[in-house]
A and B are shown apart, each in its own frame.
Chain A
């Protein structure tokens, strides 16, 4: 039902009923089936026209107990759409780019393959996409678009889900391949008037002959999930037709080509011959998407380190999927703008001072409840400025000014962070450092003690002047020309001290190395020599240990000092405070990992917990307090179930249940009541998939689920 209609208008209350209730007087449902179906059809149309009507109105609810006015809610809504559409556009372009290489490679392969005729085997391309199955969908969509544009012929994409047997696959192939052509020919009759079966490849041959396509591309999107026998049949069949129909096969391989070949029998793999195409891995794409996200949305909100590290961890531990990463980020955006009334302030264009947007009274009150506000007041008290604290607490205008200042501070903080990450990235020598992790480390304020910085500074020590000069040049270059999307050029004025220091060190290092070149005495850093360890010299049968350091020249000493200075300023530059230390960070920092829990449901744990501790979830009828007295029959039976072995005798279970529910002396009525409950509970357990009829013994059930797994 979900496919037709975004809203729930199409549903009625009986849709989720587990049993159909027959109402004799026509209650509940409509009298006749025909009438119902026409009514349904009408309803289906309505949701489509609705968004047009609603487009101008507010979908976001007013917060702060409804005190928030419509303008503010509308602004939040506007901000969300603006923010997300920007980010989404960038993400989409990254996704399109990401597969570009693979697409180009496949296209050239398909185009060239028929000129290099190897008639004996089927030309095949194995597209290794990594174990992220979700991304294959996008890849093959792009692939079929691209091939449809650039390749003369027809493309058929097969998915394991919609193909069950050979006949159905062939029908699908023939239908798709022949309808891709322009005219709708009566494809079941041949020219000589003979009727063909609709799975006869003869139809395809005739089509290819008539339209003169160069190749018929058959793409198996998730080749692993296909039935092996089906694949073998198809390969044999295509191979047999190869002299009449120019087949080209594409296999989406999620594991590896070796595993794929192992799975095929030799007779089939002998028919295949082709190339392997690797698709960019999801971790690299995620890195790029992350960069786009943090830079594109920096005017509005910042993704906090805790949130990002949770996301990253989830990627590593559970799913390596770009799509789920994007979904999580979108959800974070939604939560931020929908649930946080202060998120309106995250637009730096609409600032308080310009009076374009005036904060409401209730929003000022909301600000005063923030913990960062409390810190601010405490700070001003401790710095002996009680009037300021009083002003902040009582005067809205004063607070407004403070808010404007805070927003400016936020802008500079985020900009500073992004620049620091960027400079780090460009100066870093090591290959396998993830920008995402550097960002997280910096935003957590742990950079000065992190391994990343230690390794970077350590590598600086061992360098010679020209390397140092190159590194400084790199840093200067990115300060001058800006970085990737979003970091504007020429931020030298903002960080003039850092800038001047760099220039200074660079010029001195350059002079040193130029001098050294003239003197033909290479300059080494004192640390570099030191790290080589002790020198042993044997003089007159005595071993002498000596440090090289003593032999440093003046130039080398100066160079060592310069390196030290560079290390110091870099360390200082890369050390940032945590965003949580800033006033009003609640308005723009998304760092709640709670919201991500929606993506990691734990249904089984929840059900087991419910059954084990029902009193925590149910409030007993007497009084309002949780009562331990009577637990539901299902829960009671579940306890017995847990205590039992893997085969449970039903009679034993019943007697135990009876004793537990009514006690020893039970009259017949109570017993019947209990029996009814017992049956109900048993049916519940069966519905939950916990018990199964045992095949070994007729009056036993077997235990399927163990607790806590």
Chain B
């Protein structure tokens, strides 16, 4: 049997793939050439690019086309490559591998499955074992058929750079494996490779760049939107192709430009966009008029953050809203106060506590801002501290300081029923009570307070343990009003 070492790529396959993945022709040809046995075969190939650029999908599609399945005769697969060549592939998803060892086990399992290994597969503890076992399997497989057939196995490591719990030597070792075992190629799919991360020169890299605007529009415009217009698919197509650029320019341009989010935004806006046409108030033809009628859709960027609640339940929301009030009124009174105190402790610098919370300075405290004298005295530091503390994020505080602030707030808080005397008595009870600590623990387990320093093995309610508040200004202001406290009065700057 005389076969040349090199043959041109199969145009039928290529054109089919190009139709399936528009705007990726270059990458398809490169990868195709690099993995086929009669192309420019390479032992290690790196594919890189951002998410949603088609790396995994294209790799899988190409390998599926050119591989010869284990139990499939050539008649079923009309023109693959030359029937004498056998190419199989195995894909290992790092997202499904919990540990490095799991990755190795998965690899062995995938290899055994791909080449139809029937013997016993042992455990695989490290890369050395992997090399030996895979080598043995490959050897058996290559020798099983007749000599002239060239056999090849392609291993695809998908998102190998995201693999959890893996030693740094793993990747170079895998790359080395492809070199020591004959007839084995490895494809590594990564997001952004470090230079020479395989410790091996001359590894071909194929870049999958993000789609440009023209490409995005071309791909998304070719989709079929649902629901269709009643007037026919021609109209639907026309409106859709003009609708997509509008969405891109107004919403997607400045946010996620990847194709998935763009497609999602288009698809979710489409039914609302054509609602006026379906209602009969507008016609598809003057597109600009339709656009103006729907301009609120393009101004609201809420669609960019996909909700985890399906829109179906939004319709019944009004009833549930009544049943379930906001978080502010669900928490018990003292828990709310504790949350407020935590917020103040996180966002006020400790040195202004005296101006804000000293009992004697009640009148002074009301003045917003407080320490003007302090900031004047050291003008040098005020220059550096121009950023508002609200923007700097919460700082860690010591539990004891928060409790002190809590005691102050407690005296000022109103809005509770009951006469003054009973209130006094109830407030006295809080002093040093275990309930307060229960409330703190509850807040911490609701993650409204975040405990700092995991290594700090002391008790969670130890006076010295440090916490940070995890709710924002808006929530806190509402909660403050529910207990009769205006939070602005207590905040420094």
Identify the A interface with B (CB < 8 A).
124, 126, 128, 130-131, 133, 160, 166-167, 170, 192-197, 199-202, 222, 224-225, 233, 236-237, 240-241, 254-257, 259-261, 263, 266, 269-270, 272-276, 278, 280-281, 313, 315-320, 600-606, 608, 689-690, 692, 702, 704-706, 708-709
**Knowing A255-B446, A257-B309, A270-B306 touch, does A237 contact B463 (C-beta < 8 A)?**
no
A257 to B403, CA, bound (A): 29
A222 to B306, CA, bound (A): 23
Residue-wise, chain B 107-120 has the 8 Å CB interface mask toward A (1 for contact) of: 01100100000001
Whole-angstrom distance between the Cβ of A600 and the nearest chain B Cβ: 6
Q: State whether the Cβ of B462 lies closer than 8 Å to any Cβ in chain A.
A: yes
Q: State whether the Cβ of B82 lies closer than 8 Å to any Cβ in chain A.
A: no
Query: Are A261 and B308 neighbours in the complex by a CB distance under 8 Å?
Result: yes
By a CB distance below 8 angstroms, the chain B residues around A689 are 459, 462-464
**Knowing A196-B105, A313-B426 touch, does A273 contact B446 (C-beta < 8 A)?**
no
By a CB distance below 8 angstroms, the chain B residues around A236 are 95
Taking a contact as CB atoms closer than 8 A, the residue among A273, A313, A692, A706 that contacts B310 in the complex is A273
Whole-angstrom distance between the Cβ of A294 and the nearest chain B Cβ: 22
A608 to B403, CA, bound (A): 16
Query: Are B442 and A133 neighbours in the complex by a CB distance under 8 Å?
Result: yes
Whole-angstrom distance between the Cβ of B467 and the nearest chain A Cβ: 14
Name which of A130, A131, A281, A702 has the most chain B CB atoms within 10 A of its CB: A131
A263 to B450, CA, bound (A): 12
Q: State whether the Cβ of B181 lies closer than 8 Å to any Cβ in chain A.
A: no
Query: Are B331 and A131 neighbours in the complex by a CB distance under 8 Å?
Result: yes
Taking a contact as CB atoms closer than 8 A, the residue among A224, A275, A315, A709 that contacts B403 in the complex is A709
The 5 closest A-B pairs by CB, nearest first: A605-B432, A604-B432, A709-B403, A318-B435, A704-B463
Q: State whether the Cβ of B453 lies closer than 8 Å to any Cβ in chain A.
A: no
By a CB distance below 8 angstroms, the chain B residues around A222 are 445
Query: Are A606 and B432 neighbours in the complex by a CB distance under 8 Å?
Result: yes
A133 to B448, CA, bound (A): 14
By a CB distance below 8 angstroms, the chain B residues around A275 are 309-310, 312-313
A314 to B464, CA, bound (A): 28
Query: Are A601 and B400 neighbours in the complex by a CB distance under 8 Å?
Result: no
Whole-angstrom distance between the Cβ of B478 and the nearest chain A Cβ: 12
10 contacts between A and B (CB under 8 A): A131-B335, A200-B98, A225-B445, A259-B327, A269-B306, A270-B306, A316-B332, A320-B332, A689-B459, A708-B431
A556 to B307, CA, bound (A): 58
A171, closest chain B residue (CB): B98
Taking a contact as CB atoms closer than 8 A, the residue among A133, A166, A273, A702 that contacts B98 in the complex is A166
* Contacts between chains A and B (CB distance < 8 A), count: 168
A140 to B307, CA, bound (A): 25
Whole-angstrom distance between the Cβ of B327 and the nearest chain A Cβ: 6
Q: State whether the Cβ of B38 lies closer than 8 Å to any Cβ in chain A.
A: no
Query: Are B309 and A126 neighbours in the complex by a CB distance under 8 Å?
Result: yes
Extra pairs beyond A233-B164, A236-B95 (9, CB < 8 Å): A133-B445, A195-B122, A259-B471, A274-B309, A275-B309, A689-B463, A689-B464, A704-B463, A709-B431
Name which of A233, A276, A315, A316 has the most chain B CB atoms within 10 A of its CB: A276
Whole-angstrom distance between the Cβ of B339 and the nearest chain A Cβ: 11
Whole-angstrom distance between the Cβ of B417 and the nearest chain A Cβ: 9
B317, closest chain A residue (CB): A276
By a CB distance below 8 angstroms, the chain B residues around A705 are 400, 463
A706, closest chain B residue (CB): B400
By a CB distance below 8 angstroms, the chain B residues around A259 are 327, 471
A320 to B431, CA, bound (A): 19
A260, closest chain B residue (CB): B308
By a CB distance below 8 angstroms, the chain B residues around A192 are 112, 121
Query: Are A692 and B445 neighbours in the complex by a CB distance under 8 Å?
Result: no
A202, closest chain B residue (CB): B109
Query: Are A704 and B462 neighbours in the complex by a CB distance under 8 Å?
Result: yes
By a CB distance below 8 angstroms, the chain A residues around B462 are 689, 704
Query: Are B327 and A709 neighbours in the complex by a CB distance under 8 Å?
Result: no
**Knowing A274-B310, A276-B313, A692-B464 touch, does A200 contact B105 (C-beta < 8 A)?**
yes
Q: State whether the Cβ of B333 lies closer than 8 Å to any Cβ in chain A.
A: yes
Q: State whether the Cβ of B334 lies closer than 8 Å to any Cβ in chain A.
A: yes
By a CB distance below 8 angstroms, the chain B residues around A269 are 306, 308
A158 to B463, CA, bound (A): 31
A281 to B331, CA, bound (A): 11
Query: Are A600 and B463 neighbours in the complex by a CB distance under 8 Å?
Result: no
Whole-angstrom distance between the Cβ of A465 and the nearest chain B Cβ: 32
Q: State whether the Cβ of B18 lies closer than 8 Å to any Cβ in chain A.
A: no
Query: Are A224 and B447 neighbours in the complex by a CB distance under 8 Å?
Result: yes
A603 to B324, CA, bound (A): 35
A259 to B474, CA, bound (A): 12
A126 to B310, CA, bound (A): 11
By a CB distance below 8 angstroms, the chain B residues around A603 are 432, 434
Q: State whether the Cβ of B235 lies closer than 8 Å to any Cβ in chain A.
A: no
A124 to B313, CA, bound (A): 13
B299-326 residues with Cβ-Cβ distance < 8 A to A are 305-310, 312-313, 320, 323-324, 326
A192 to B112, CA, bound (A): 10
Q: State whether the Cβ of B127 lies closer than 8 Å to any Cβ in chain A.
A: no
**Knowing A276-B309, A705-B463, A709-B404 touch, does A197 contact B442 (C-beta < 8 A)?**
no
A263 to B120, CA, bound (A): 46
By a CB distance below 8 angstroms, the chain A residues around B324 are 128, 130, 278, 281
Query: Are A600 and B331 neighbours in the complex by a CB distance under 8 Å?
Result: no
Query: Are A278 and B323 neighbours in the complex by a CB distance under 8 Å?
Result: yes
B393-450 residues with Cβ-Cβ distance < 8 A to A are 400, 403-404, 406-407, 418, 426, 429, 431-435, 438-439, 442, 445-448
Query: Are B121 and A276 neighbours in the complex by a CB distance under 8 Å?
Result: no
A690 to B462, CA, bound (A): 9
Q: State whether the Cβ of B101 lies closer than 8 Å to any Cβ in chain A.
A: yes
A269, closest chain B residue (CB): B308
A256 to B448, CA, bound (A): 11
B445, closest chain A residue (CB): A225
